[in-house]
Amino acid sequence: MTALPYASRIRRAVLPVALCAGLAAGLTACASDPDEGTNGVGKLEATAIEQKAQTAADAAKAVRLAGTLVSKGGTYKLNMRLKQDGASGSVTTKNSTFELLRIGDALYLKADAGFWAHDEEASDGKNGGSASGGASPAAPTEADSEAADKLDDKYVKVPQDDPSYKQLRGFTDMDLLLDGLIGLHGDVVKGDRDKIGGIRTVKVKGGEDGEGGTLDVALEGTPFPLQFARGGGAGVVVLSEWDKDFPLEEPSKDQTLDYGKQLPRT
């Protein structure tokens, strides 16, 4: 067998090495591209990302909203499925948990007897009175307890004339909740990449430190907002199941109570 010249042997040995090195460099370059396989939103400026998320949310037909909201009125834990013509889910406050169901304008509230009798409020009052120094809340009377027992685990239709109707309906209004929860305040800046529910996101913040809120926007599929952290530690909500419809059914008559124009005072 004729031996190859020395120079030819060197070229044949170097060529595969060079090809492998070039291929490795190309793969490394691709792997370092954070926008590969995304919807491209991460390449935009912060204000454009926020606008994309807002547009996607405005066009959505349904969403699940779950998390904690902190306000002067207290802390609320929400787990609501929302769409344009109604909603269902639960709201938890310091003293109680209640369920809400809205179909069109018909709003139903479901809770246990303790919620209607305000047992925990009365107990707090007996232990130390009100913070303002006023009279302690009166403990439930026997009549109150009996009325509460009748309401236990029933769907109570909230009259539209009742003062609580507007407040309770607010927890079931998709547009109202989204407008109030995913709006950033201050100069909007782009933040880090993250993952929410296994989906890659890019953060946009109101202010450098997120004092005006921090929004995680999906980098996969439609650029929906997936999480919003309110500024000042005022709560975090996760938004999921975008555009997934769900059924809403009127409760059965034997599980429903209608109090006419106003809910019972207890």
* 125 assigned to some structural domain: no
* 252 assigned to some structural domain: yes
Percent of the chain predicted with pLDDT > 90? 55
DSSP structure class, residue 248: -
Q: In what order do the strands lie in the sheet with 256-258?
A: 188-196, 199-206, 214-218, 225-229, 236-240, 62-71, 74-83, 86-92, 97-103, 106-111, 154-157, 256-258
CA distance 103 to 46: 37
Domains in the chain: how many in total? Answer: 1
> pLDDT of 105-133, one tens digit each?
999 999 988 887 765 443 444 444 433 34
SS3 133: coil
Q: What was the pLDDT predicted at 146? A: 64
**Alpha-helical regions (H) of the chain:** 6-31, 46-59, 113-117, 119-128, 142-151, 164-170, 174-181
**Distance, C-alpha 136 to centroid of its chain:** 36
* 143 assigned to some structural domain: no
Q: What was the pLDDT predicted at 33? A: 78
Q: What was the pLDDT predicted at 212? A: 94
Q: What was the pLDDT predicted at 123? A: 40
pLDDT (mean) for 188-201: 96
Q: What was the pLDDT predicted at 264? A: 56
As given in the structure block, the two tokens for residue 224 are 């929906």
As given in the structure block, the two tokens for residue 254 are 């034997």
CA distance 202 to 218: 7
CA distance 195 to 206: 19
> Which H, E and C letters describe 23-37, residue by residue?
HHHHHHHHHCCCCCC
* 174 assigned to some structural domain: yes
Higher pLDDT, 72 or 20: 72
Mean pLDDT of the chain: 82
* 239 assigned to some structural domain: yes
Q: What was the pLDDT predicted at 258? A: 75
The yes-or-no verdict on residue 154 having pLDDT over 80 is yes
* 85 assigned to some structural domain: yes
Is the separation of the CB atoms in 103 and 246 below 8 Å?
A: no
The torsion of the CA quartet 251, 255, 257, 258, rounded to 10 degrees, works out to 20
Closest CA to 244 of 65, 60, 32, 62: 62
* 35 assigned to some structural domain: no
Give the CATH number, domain containing residue 68: 2.50.20.20
pLDDT (mean) for 156-173: 92
pLDDT (mean) for 3-24: 50
Give the residue numbers spanning the domain of 205: 41-112+153-258
* 222 assigned to some structural domain: yes
pLDDT (mean) for 155-160: 92
The yes-or-no verdict on residue 226 having pLDDT over 50 is yes
Higher pLDDT, 34 or 25: 34
pLDDT (mean) for 169-180: 93
CA distance 118 to 140: 7
